[in-house]
Amino acid sequence: MAEWSTVLSLVVFGLLLVVAEVIFVPGTTVVGVIGFCFLVVGVGLSFKYFGSEVGWVMLGTTSVASGGLLYFSFTTNMWSRFSLKSSNKGKVNEGELDQLVVGMEGRAISALRPIGKAELNNQIVEVKTNGDYLDSGSRVRIVKIVSNQIIIEPIN
């Protein structure tokens, strides 16, 4: 009885790992290779424990089960509940740049390393320096505004 539980658990666990590789973690191949190894060991042990007749039946059953599980996994829509259906369309500083112009002055709200927050025209926006590290409270000036990105420089 222990032989049957060993063989069946190896085969079932191997099938689950192969399906998990195809559906959940495609491209890594580690999970799929480990699952395939479990299948091979399970079928090999069935040949060793029960002889060639049971081993061939187990090999055929495992092959059919693998194909059936993969076919079922792809044709049914049961995996759609695990997939992402929405996307984030928001952008940094979207709509906040209308009142800002080059040359406007303000102060850093957070440390700029080189990206952080600054208060410009009574608005808190995300800003970027040209590589300078500035402390919170530093006075800054807008140098350039490029596609929702505010480039600033320190005022000495």
Give pLDDT tens digits for 9-57.
999 999 888 888 877 776 778 888 999 999 999 999 999 999 999 999 9
The Cα 118–Cα 16 span in angstroms is 51
- Given a contact cutoff of 8 angstroms between Cβ atoms, the answer to whether 14 and 42 are in contact is yes
Where are the domains positioned within the chain?
2-77, 105-154
The Cα 147–Cα 128 span in angstroms is 13
pLDDT band at 110 (very low <50, low <70, confident <90, very high): very high
Give the number of other CB atoms < 10 A from CB of residue 137.
10
Confidence (pLDDT) at 93: 63
78 dihedral zone (left: phi>0; alpha: psi -120 to 50; beta): alpha
pTM for the model stands at: 0.49
Q: Which residues pair with 151 in a beta bridge?
A: 128, 144
pLDDT band at 127 (very low <50, low <70, confident <90, very high): very high
Question: What CATH superfamily is the domain 105-154?
Answer: Nucleic acid-binding proteins (2.40.50.140)
Confidence (pLDDT) at 66: 87
